[in-house]
A and B are shown apart, each in its own frame.
Chain A
Amino acid sequence: MAEIRYTKDHEWVRLEEDGTLTIGITDHAQEALGDIVFVELPAVDREVAEGESCATVESTKAANDVFAPLAGRIAEVNEAIVEDPGLINRDPAGEGWFWRMEPEDDAQFEQLLDEESYEAFLETL
């Protein structure tokens, strides 16, 4: 099982076997956004800082930023969600992933929230 961490911005971050990280938004996030109708993804190879806005998701009501959970280089983006933004609503933790990145500092991943901490954070909202 790949290890998955979370952010307080409601993103999930999965550590892949090759050391890259796959990023998406959580079920809680897609539920809160409602029907997603547009996605803008970052350019491949873009270097991003931690907390930098990388993607935009628009629901029927508003635009929201998706932030880089940590610094690194964008390695791949999921064009399928650009073609069919509803994928994010239907399968946020799977087919609805946003981008894959190479982290600048591997140790940063460990500092993200584990599932238990994220669940506990959701309880406080």
Chain B
Amino acid sequence: MKLSPLDTLHRRLGGRMVGFAGWSLPVQYEGALAEHRAARTQAALFDVSHMGQVTLRVTAGEIETLVPGDIAGLAPGRQRYTLLLNEAGGILDDVMVAHWPDGFVMIVNAARAAADLAHLRQAFGDAAVEHGEGRALLALQGPEAAAVMARHAPAAVALPFLGLAEVAIAGVACRVSRSGYTGEDGFEIACAGEGAVAVAEALLAEPEVLPAGLAARDTLRLEAGLCLYGNDIDEVTTPVEAGLAWTIGKRRRAARDFPGAEPIADQLAQGAPRCRVGLRPEGRAIARGGAAIAAPDGSEAGIVTSGGFAPSLGGPIAMGYVRRDLAVPGTALGIEVRGQRLPAQVVALPFVPHRFAR
């Protein structure tokens, strides 16, 4: 099991450690609901050091051979959400690409890091791909995140959504982006592993900030309608099916010069056979990933890929894939939970409106 640079801090704070994608990380500290609410009403600090930080010594054009995003148009000081695709248009991983003054950094999912590194090295050669092992990544999220950051790194507060800045926090050199995985305003803070405890302690010393674990991270991202790789997207899911066609740059769409461009162009023109949707089950029972979805006539409609209790809404929510003809908000469907068919309605995503910085 890999240990985060913050491992001893988690244990000192009473974190309940669990295995996640080969890493030992806190699923919660005091309680997942309180941690969720902290991120929605004040600020929460997450350790996301398990995510891979990969420096790419390549050109924007070279990165574009693997992703459909407009990387050539990504200005220095900005980052962008994009997808590593296979030749069938399936999603190998969903990633952030940051354009720093000295080059590109790709942030990849922990569960996909090894596969992504192999893929990137095959494309660009070993020397051009450097895995920042041992580095830390923290996420400070919530409506008070900017007020907290203002006390430590005022320059970061001036950033627009998805802007990047190099700052010092608690005397530690950090690379900060205005981004996150909760739907709230916030910052993701990368630094060397040795400095991570000082940065985390400085932020946790602020009265608005609560440490938060994986459970709150999952309920927050689900409410925000954000995909979890391995649940909501995978190698047999295309960006069109996943509702992520917006990540395909306009120029890229016209040029069809990314992996899987032809099958994806076909789906863009004709519509995907299945679509990712939001679902609101009636009542309180929770439909989790893997639950079958039935159409009104009883026929097979699709499958739930993520589901849980939404603390902000006080009830269950889910995401899943359904046949295109059933993907319209308001459509009444059924979800199979423990032998019973729960009535559920297709709803627009996100469940909780995003409140990113402008």
Contacts and interface: CB of A to CB of B under 8 A. Distances in A.
Nearest to B216: A60
Contact of B27 (A34, A37, A56, A63): A34
Given A34-B27, A34-B31, A60 B215 contact: yes
Given A60-B33, A60-B219, A38 B309 contact: yes
Given A58-B309, A60-B32, A61-B27, A38 B285 contact: yes
Contacts of A35: 31-33
Nearest to A85: B284
Contacts of B286: 37-38, 58, 63
Interface in B8-55: 16, 27-28, 31-33, 36
A40 interface: yes
Nearest to B340: A40
Interface bracket on B? 20 to 34
Contacts of B216: 60
Nearest to B16: A34
B263 interface: no
Contacts of B358: none
Question: In terms of DSSP, what is the predominant structure of the interface of chain B?
Answer: mixed
A34 B284 CA distance: 18
Interface string A30-59: 000011011010000000000000001011
A60 B285 CA distance: 12
A61 B285 contact: no
Nearest to A86: B33
Contacts of A59: 32
Contact of A60 (B284, B309, B338): B309
Contacts of A82: 284
Contacts of B284: 38, 82
Interface in B250-295: 284-286, 288
B77 interface: no
Nearest to B310: A37
Contacts of B33: 35, 37, 60
Contacts of A60: 28, 32-33, 36, 215-216, 218-219, 308-309, 311
Contacts of A40: 285, 338
Contacts of B215: 34, 60-61
A87 to B, nearest CB: 14
B316 interface: yes
Interface residues of A, number: 13
Contacts of B285: 38, 40
A65 B261 CA distance: 46
Interface in B89-107: none
A101 B9 CA distance: 45
Interface string A76-97: 0000001000000100000000
Contact of A38 (B16, B311, B316): B316
B309 A34 contact: no
A65 to B, nearest CB: 10
Contact of A61 (B218, B311, B316, B338): B218
Contact of B32 (A38, A56, A61, A63): A61
Given A58-B286, A60-B309, A34 B338 contact: no
A50 B328 CA distance: 46
Contacts of A61: 27, 32, 215, 218, 308
Given A58-B309, A60-B215, A60-B308, A34 B32 contact: yes
A40 B338 CA distance: 11
* Residue among A35, A38, A82 having the largest count of chain B Cβ atoms under 10 Å: A35
Contact of B288 (A34, A37, A63): A63
A82 to B, nearest CB: 8
A61 B289 CA distance: 12
A56 B16 CA distance: 22
B316 A34 contact: no
26 contacts: A34-B16, A34-B27, A34-B28, A34-B215, A35-B31, A35-B32, A37-B33, A37-B286, A37-B309, A37-B311, A38-B286, A38-B309, A38-B316, A40-B285, A40-B338, A58-B309, A60-B36, A60-B215, A60-B218, A60-B308, A60-B309, A60-B311, A61-B308, A63-B288, A82-B284, A89-B31
